[in-house]
């Protein structure tokens, strides 16, 4: 189960309301404010007629964001938000945090329309989406059904742009949807069978994007611009027109300043750069009840610094809002700097299945290690050789939960045995299993593999966290007692994944399940071998993603059963879905395909004292949640001193 807070009751709400209640068409929309307030930053451009006034920039029916007056206050325009990122590619986090989606989760984890005005759903098969009339891209061009048609007909089904065909996420049992464009603001997707994944995928932090800025991308498409083909013929050695189009079409990566967006802020910086600057989208579709167009904040500045320096720089007051690349181990240090550097450190609870999980590579190339990792007794013994209570006390002050990589107690699918099976520290039981396998100790006390090599496990990391190193050091001690040597090998995230994908890495460490709070209606994607990014069986996932063209087919009973159950989940009633979830969770707990250590770890969030509307108590989760995204950073605002 691989991932691609001090807490109130939102966890419970998430567990019961993850999917839509009836039709979105029935959701009441607040009426637009009678009077709209022009954004100070844009007044000069409006006066010079470089931009239309705010009323003409907004949709006819903008999304009116309500504030409860307690955790959220109506704000003021202005100011620059400083945040730190560790890599150039992290500019995509502005798409995660901006969280402008056709449909998205609100703070109660209910799916609601966002870019869409409404959506009508019939039997999870037919989805009729209504756009907001007058909605515009960041460059002022209309956002219409033509953008959806362009994606489906000219990108997803163009053999040069998409050689593998439409995204697998849009296929149900291998069959694509029927896509209709009923008018300029109405689009309909219809499948022959239910597609319960459709809306959650569009609401995810890395969303399924079924539209493109057609007016911009057509200039790079041979169907609309014959010059691109002529240029390709004139210079055969240059990139093909399709490669150029795909380079320009990077909405999620957010690194093309020329590409129009629907997010709250627009990127102005082209890589390579050591500092990204994003500025407000003049045509963003949300307003507050006072008539102020969102976002409140004018710009966000994101310098690139070494990830190891981010906690120190955040503690020195160099970031107005920082959670990424900050760990619980930094909390004490951050608290000490609060008064001197004018910030607060909140603790949000995480919701992953495991904050730290080990992944034996069941597709490792070495045949001896492959056979050993596929022996469930070995995986169970490794798990029982980890003193989770010690790790919790030493590194997390006892505030985390010792657990397998599984659902957390606030999920309606939680069962105690999923959390604890094979997860209790029991050296004698582990020794017995190792002996039963035939892993005899040598004179140095280290066990030997079947071919005589010492049992030395190299655990590869992304090299991004000293916290992982600290956990591995404690595991190293207890594994040494049962005759196993552990070595850690830090690298970079992309290199780590490539080594896992190729079968060179024998074991890796990463987070566990992205969503530790699923309901029976949540697709059990993380439990089945269907994604190459799943570190325990990347070749099985690659086999599924490429329809058998690459990778390896699952070849042992439990993996095959998990795929069978995953397929069955998409075809059964909601009552039957819970049974499938429980069977899949039971298989994972028993088989220890991934070895979870702890979850419910607190996430420090550094917040400037001048920044308002950031919740003090919240959940920091990738999906659902988009980390900061569901708390809508477009509604964060600065006090008077910082707005000038």
The confidence score (pLDDT) of residue 1 equals 64
154 pLDDT exceeds 50?
Answer: yes
26 burial class (0-12, 13-18, 19+ CB within 10 angstroms)? exposed
Q: Mean per-residue pLDDT for 417-445?
A: 98
> Residue-wise over 260-282: b if at least 16 C-beta within 10 A, else e?
bbbbbbbbebeeeeeebbbbbbb
The confidence score (pLDDT) of residue 22 equals 38
Domains of the chain with CATH codes = 356-599 (3.10.105.10)
Percent of the chain at pLDDT > 90 equals: 84
The answer to whether 598 and 349 are in contact (CB under 8 A) is no
pLDDT tens profile 436-445: 999 999 999 9
In angstroms, the CA 32 to CA 290 distance is: 9
> What is the layout of strands, in order, in the sheet containing 343-350?
321-322, 602-608, 343-350, 619-620
Q: What are phi and psi of 401, to 5 degrees?
A: -120, 130
The confidence score (pLDDT) of residue 109 equals 86
Cα dihedral sign for 96, 99, 639, 278? positive
- Which of 106-120, 226-240, 345-359, 590-604 comes out lowest in average pLDDT? 226-240
287 pLDDT exceeds 50?
Answer: yes
3-state secondary structure of 302: strand
In angstroms, the CA 279 to CA 260 distance is: 13
Which pLDDT band, with edges at 50, 70 and 90, does 225 fall under? very high
pLDDT tens profile 96-129: 999 999 999 998 888 999 999 999 999 999 999 9
In angstroms, the CA 106 to CA 94 distance is: 18
Which pLDDT band, with edges at 50, 70 and 90, does 603 fall under? very high
The answer to whether 440 and 547 are in contact (CB under 8 A) is no
**Mode of pairing for the β-strands spanning 595-599 and 103-105:** unpaired
- What is the DSSP code (8-state) at residue 152? I
Angstrom distances, CA of residue 255 to CA of 248, 260, 293: 9, 11, 25
In angstroms, the CA 154 to CA 600 distance is: 44
- Which of 5-9, 34-38, 223-227 comes out lowest in average pLDDT? 5-9
Task: Give one DSSP letter per residue of 59-86, joined into a string.
Answer: -SSPEEEP--SSS--------EEE--BS
194 pLDDT exceeds 70?
Answer: yes
14 pLDDT exceeds 50?
Answer: no
pLDDT tens profile 464-493: 878 899 999 999 999 999 999 999 999 988
- What is the DSSP code (8-state) at residue 240? P
Q: Mean per-residue pLDDT for 592-601?
A: 97
282 vs 70, which has greater pLDDT? Answer: 282
Which pLDDT band, with edges at 50, 70 and 90, does 643 fall under? confident
Token pair 């049962």: residue: 482
Mean pLDDT computed over every residue of the chain: 93
Which pLDDT band, with edges at 50, 70 and 90, does 644 fall under? low
The confidence score (pLDDT) of residue 143 equals 98
The confidence score (pLDDT) of residue 29 equals 66
pTM: 0.85
- Which of 177-191, 447-461, 509-523 comes out lowest in average pLDDT? 509-523
Tokens coding 470: 């600290």
In angstroms, the CA 478 to CA 631 distance is: 41
578 pLDDT exceeds 70?
Answer: yes
Cα dihedral sign for 247, 251, 256, 258? positive
Q: Mean per-residue pLDDT for 291-305?
A: 98
Tokens coding 303: 């310098």
- Which of 14-28, 173-187, 221-235, 616-630 comes out lowest in average pLDDT? 14-28
- Which of 230-234, 392-396, 514-518 comes out lowest in average pLDDT? 230-234
254 pLDDT exceeds 80?
Answer: yes
Tokens coding 204: 């995810």
Which residues lie closer than 8 Å to 593 by C-beta, 6 or more apart? Answer: 1, 360, 362, 379, 536, 537, 558
Q: What are phi and psi of 386, to 5 degrees?
A: -105, 125
Which pLDDT band, with edges at 50, 70 and 90, does 536 fall under? very high
Greatest alpha-carbon pair distance for the chain in Å reads: 84
6 pLDDT exceeds 60?
Answer: no
């Amino acid at each position: 189960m691989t991932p691609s807070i001090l807490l109130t009751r939102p966890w419970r709400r998430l567990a019961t309301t993850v999917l839509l209640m009836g039709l979105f068409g029935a959701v009441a929309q607040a009426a637009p404010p009678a009077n709209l307030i022009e954004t100070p930053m844009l007044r000069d451009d409006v006066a010079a007629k470089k931009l239309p006034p705010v009323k003409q920039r907004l949709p006819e029916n903008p999304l009116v964001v309500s504030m409860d007056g307690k955790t959220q206050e109506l704000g003021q325009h202005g100011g620059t938000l400083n945040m730190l990122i560790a890599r150039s590619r992290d500019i995509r986090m502005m798409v995660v945090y901006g969280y402008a989606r056709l449909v998205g989760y609100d703070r109660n984890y209910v799916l609601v329309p966002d870019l869409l005005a409404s959506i009508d759903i019939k039997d999870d098969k037919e989805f009729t989406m209504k756009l907001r009339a007058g909605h515009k891209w960041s460059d002022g061009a209309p956002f219409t059904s033509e953008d959806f048609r362009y994606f489906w007909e000219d990108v997803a089904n163009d053999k040069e742009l998409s050689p593998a065909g439409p995204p697998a996420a849009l296929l149900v049992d291998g069959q694509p949807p029927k896509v209709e464009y009923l008018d300029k603001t109405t689009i309909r997707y219809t499948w022959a069978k239910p597609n319960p994944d459709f809306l959650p995928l569009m609401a995810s932090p890395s969303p399924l994007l079924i539209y493109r800025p057609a007016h911009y991308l057509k200039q790079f498409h041979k169907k609309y611009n014959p010059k691109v083909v002529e240029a390709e013929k004139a210079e055969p050695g240059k990139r093909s027109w399709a490669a150029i189009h795909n380079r320009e079409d990077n909405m999620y990566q957010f690194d093309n300043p020329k590409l129009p967006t629907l997010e709250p802020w627009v990127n102005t910086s082209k890589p390579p750069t050591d500092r990204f600057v994003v500025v407000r989208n003049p045509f963003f579709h949300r307003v507050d009840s006072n008539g102020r167009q969102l976002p409140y904040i004018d710009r966000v500045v994101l310098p690139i610094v070494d990830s190891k320096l981010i906690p120190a720089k955040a503690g020195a007051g160099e970031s107005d809002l920082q959670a990424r690349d900050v760990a619980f181990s930094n909390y004490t240090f951050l608290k000490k700097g609060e008064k001197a550097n004018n910030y607060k450190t909140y603790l949000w609870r995480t919701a992953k299945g495991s904050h730290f999980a080990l992944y034996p590579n069941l597709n490792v190339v070495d045949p001896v290690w492959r056979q050993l990792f596929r022996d469930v007794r070995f995986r169970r013994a490794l798990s029982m050789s980890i003193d989770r209570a010690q790790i919790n006390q030493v590194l997390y002050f006892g505030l985390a939960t010792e657990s397998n990589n599984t659902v957390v107690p606030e999920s309606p699918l939680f069962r105690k045995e999923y959390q604890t099976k094979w997860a209790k520290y029991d050296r004698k039981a582990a020794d017995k299993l190792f002996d039963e396998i035939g892993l005899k100790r040598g004179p140095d006390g280290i066990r030997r593999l079947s071919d005589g090599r010492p049992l030395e496990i190299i655990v590869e990391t992304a090299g991004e966290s000293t916290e992982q190193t600290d956990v591995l050091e404690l595991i190293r001690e207890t594994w040494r007692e049962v005759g196993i040597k552990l070595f850690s090998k830090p690298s970079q995230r992309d290199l780590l994944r490539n080594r896992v994908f190729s079968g060179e890495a024998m074991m890796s460490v990463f987070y566990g399940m992205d969503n530790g709070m699923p309901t029976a209606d949540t697709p059990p994607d993380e439990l089945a071998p269907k994604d190459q990014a799943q570190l325990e069986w990347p070749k099985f996932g690659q086999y599924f993603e490429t329809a058998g063209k690459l990778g390896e087919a699952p070849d042992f009973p439990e993996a095959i059963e998990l795929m069978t159950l995953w397929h069955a989940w998409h075809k059964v009633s909601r009552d039957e879905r819970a049974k499938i979830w429980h069977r899949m969770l039971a298989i994972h707990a028993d088989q220890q395909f991934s070895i979870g250590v702890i979850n419910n770890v607190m996430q420090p969030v550094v917040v400037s004292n001048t920044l308002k509307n950031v919740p003090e108590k919240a959940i920091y989760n990738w999906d659902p949640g988009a980390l900061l995204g569901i708390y809508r950073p477009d509604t964060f605002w600065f006090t008077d001193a910082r707005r000038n």
